[in-house]
Amino acid sequence: MMNIFTNKKSISFSPELHVEDELLNYWLNQVTVRLRREILWYWHERVGSAKNFQEKTLPPFVDKTEASLNLTRFWENKKEFFRKDQTAKFLSKQLESEPPTLNSPTFGSFGWLAHTLKLDNASMFVLALGLIPHFDHASGSVIASCNNDSSKTYPTFALAQKLWGNPKEIIHLTDFDHKLFQYGIFQLSQFHNNEYSETNLEMSIAISTAVANHLLFPNNFHSALKQINIKQNSSDETIDIITKRLGGHNTLQIVPILGKIDSDEKELIAKFTAVMDNETVEFIGEPKLLKNTRYFNSILTYCWLNKLNLFLNKHLVSIICNEKNNIDTQYLPLQSIPIIIFIGITDKNQISTISQNTLLPIIEIPELTYFQRIECWKQGLGKLAEVIDESIKECSRVFRFEKQSIDRICQGLTKQEKLSRDELFLACRTELEMNLGELAQKVKPRFKDEKLILPPKQDLQFTEIENAVKSLSYVHYNLGTATAWNEGGLVVLFTGNSGTGKTMAAEILAEKCDLPMYRIDLAGMVSKYVGETPKNLKKICDSAEKCDTILFFDEADSLFSRRTEVKDAHDRYANIETNYLLQRLESFKGLAILATNREKDIDQAFLRRIRYKIEFPTPGEKE
C-alpha cells in the first residue's frame, strides 16, 4: 500500500500543514485519517487487491445506485476489513485517541466555538470536515473519490455519514435550527437553491471563506472591515440607556443612527465603544456584496467570533433599500447571530420594515451649530483660516455642512498657499449636491439690476430684501435671533399681474445675493393623494437647506390657499396639509419667494408670516 497511510504526524494530505488550535488539529487529523481509511476500503471493495491496479491509481468510480445498494450488503465486510487489514487497522487505531481538553480556549477559536455552542463529537467532526477544503488543496480529489463523483470535490453530510462511526448522529446536523446554522457557521451552499425546502444529506457542508479562515488562522483580519479608532471618553444618558439594553444580548441587535447625509456617525459610535467591551468595525468592502445574504451572514459571524460590533454607513444602507427607500428584509442577515449592527440612516422610514425584536431606539446625530461649523472650518483650514476669518463666519451660515463635508473640502483647499473668500465659496458650491428631482428646476439668472424698473416705494422694498438676506449672519449671531427664529430665513411675497416683472426680480435678487435659485414645479409637487404634497415640500426644503437658496414658488396661491370649513374628511386632511406647509416654510433657512396674481386666495396665516411684500404694478407707457 502507499506509504502516505503510515505518516503519524500528518493531519492533512499536503505536507507541513497545521493550525495553532489543539482541538482543531485533532479533528482535522480525524477527518484526514477517516478519508484515508475510506479510500483504502474502496480499493479493497472495487478492485479487490493492490496487486490488480497501479499503486498511484485512485479507486475507480462506480454506478451510484449500485454503490448505494452495496452499503448495507457490505457493511459487515467493511467493519471486518477495518479490523483485519494491517493499514486499515493502523488507521483505526489512530482514531481511538481522545480529543484534548481545553481549560480556557481563546475567544473565537475552534475550541471556544465548540465550548460555547456545546458541540458534540459528531458536530466537531463535521465542522472539521467542512473546513478541510479551505485548509488543504489536496483534499478535493480525495473527497471526490469518497463521494463517488468526480465533480463533487466538496464534503457533504452524506459523506460525513459514511465516515462517522454512528451515521444517526449526523442527521440532526442538517436541521437549520442546529446552532451551527443559526450562528452562521454553516451556510446554505450555492448548490442548494431553495432556502425553505427540507434539508437533505446530499447538501454540501458550506462554510464561508471568512469564517473558515478565522477558525483555521485566527490572526488574519478581514480585508473588508476597518476598525474605528476614534477616542471618545464622554457619553450621554441616551447612550448609557441603550448600552444597558445591549448588554447580555443573545440575538442580532440593530441600532439606527439618524443624521444628515454628510453627518459623521463614527464619533457617536465611538461613544458606545468607550462604554462597551466590544470594538466596532466599519464595512469598507464592495457594497453590492451586501445583497448576497450568505456573504452578509459570513461578515456577521466573523464579527461575532472576533467580539466585534459592525457599522454600516448610510451609503451602504441605501444599497439594500427597495424603491420605497425601505430596507429590503430579504437582504437582512440571520437574527440568531448575536452581534450589534450600527446602521446609518437619513430617514426614519428606512427602518420601518425591520422587526421590532431586533431594533433599538433611534439615536439622532445633532446637526452642527453655527459656531461648531466655524470651529470645524478653522481646524480644517489651519493657517489659511487666519486671513479669511469673516469669510469663514459667513460661509458657516450660508453653507450648513456637517463635519464630513467640511473635512473633505478642507483637504482640497489646504494644498493652496493662499485662500480668498471667492475660492472658499466656490469650493463649497462645488461640494454642494441638491437632489430636488423633478420637483424643481434650477434657474440661471438672465437679468441684471439695471433692467428692473420699479416705482420708488417698490425699489426701496427690493433693496431692503437684498440687505436683509446679506445681513442674516449678523442678525442671527451678533444680535442673538438665531435661537428665537431657529436660524430661519425670509419669506417674501411678489404680487401683481402676469408680465409685471416678478420672475425677473427674483432672478436679479439671486444674482445680487449670489444665491442659487430654484423654480418649484407646483404641478409636480401638488398631489391629489393625501399626505403626498407635504412630503414633496419636505424633500424640497430638506435638500435646499444645505445652503442659503432661493425657492421661487410661481402661482403660489395654488399651494398656499385658504383653509376651509371642515365638512368632510377631505377638508380635514387639506387643512392639515396647509398647517404643515405653513410650519415648514416658516422654518426654511433660505429665501422663499411666493409669486401670485391672486393674493386674496392665499391663506391669511401665510400672509402674516411674510416679512416683505412687493406689489408689482402694471408698467405704463414710459416704463
Give the model's pLDDT for residue 571.
44
CB atoms within 10 A of CB 582: 17
What 8-state DSSP symbol labels residue 48?
S
Whether residue 144 is found in the same domain as residue 86: yes
Indicate the residue among 312, 330, 364 that finishes a domain: 364
Whether residue 186 is found in the same domain as residue 274: no
CB atoms within 10 A of CB 235: 13
Contact 526, 572 (CB under 8 A): no
Asked if residue 58 is part of any domain, the answer here is: yes
What 8-state DSSP symbol labels residue 486?
T
The closest of 261, 134, 258 to 185, measured between CA atoms, is 134
Residue 539 backbone phi and psi in degrees, to 5:
-60, -40
Asked if residue 623 is part of any domain, the answer here is: no
Residues facing residue 612 across a β-bridge: 492
- CA distance linking residue 20 with residue 264, whole number of Å: 40
Cell (9 digits) for 339: 452581534
Asked if residue 621 is part of any domain, the answer here is: no
Whether residue 34 is found in the same domain as residue 89: yes
Whether residue 349 is found in the same domain as residue 397: no
Asked if residue 620 is part of any domain, the answer here is: no
Whether residue 101 is found in the same domain as residue 26: yes
Contact 81, 41 (CB under 8 A): yes
Asked if residue 448 is part of any domain, the answer here is: yes
b or e along 391-413 (b: 16 or more beta carbons within 10 Å of the residue's beta carbon)? bbbbbbbbbbbbbbbbbebbeeb
Whether residue 467 is found in the same domain as residue 611: yes
**Count of domains for the chain:** 4
Q: Helices marked H in 96-178 — which ranges?
A: 110-116, 121-135, 139-147, 157-163, 168-171
Q: Which residues contact 539 (CB under 8 A, 6 or more apart)?
A: 436, 437, 439
Indicate the residue among 378, 400, 431 that finishes a domain: 431
CB atoms within 10 A of CB 93: 10
Asked if residue 313 is part of any domain, the answer here is: yes
Give the model's pLDDT for residue 375.
94
Indicate the residue among 186, 216, 246 that finishes a domain: 216
Give the model's pLDDT for residue 482.
60
Give the model's pLDDT for residue 499.
85
Output the CA–CA distances (angstroms, integers) from residue 357 to 241, 251, 310, 396, in the order listed: 17, 9, 18, 41
- CA distance linking residue 118 with residue 100, whole number of Å: 15
Whether residue 332 is found in the same domain as residue 472: no
Whether residue 267 is found in the same domain as residue 357: yes
- CA distance linking residue 30 with residue 123, whole number of Å: 13
Contact 157, 170 (CB under 8 A): yes
Whether residue 43 is found in the same domain as residue 161: yes
Whether residue 518 is found in the same domain as residue 543: yes
Asked if residue 35 is part of any domain, the answer here is: yes
Asked if residue 133 is part of any domain, the answer here is: yes
CB atoms within 10 A of CB 73: 9
Give the model's pLDDT for residue 237.
63
Prediction pTM value: 0.78
Q: Which residues contact 234 (CB under 8 A, 6 or more apart)?
A: 271
Residues facing residue 225 across a β-bridge: 283
Positions of the chain with pLDDT lower than 50, given as ranges:
1-8, 50, 53, 191-198, 563-573
List, for residues 89-129, the tens digit of each pLDDT value. 999 999 998 999 888 899 999 999 999 999 999 999 999 99
Q: Residue 53 belongs to what domain range?
A: 3-216
Assign residue 282 the CATH number of its domain: 3.40.50.300
Q: Which residues contact 576 (CB under 8 A, 6 or more apart)?
A: none
Average of per-residue pLDDT values in the chain? 83
Output the CA–CA distances (angstroms, integers) from residue 507 to 168, 379, 615, in the order listed: 82, 36, 17
Whether residue 384 is found in the same domain as residue 527: no
Give the model's pLDDT for residue 52.
52
Whether residue 26 is found in the same domain as residue 131: yes
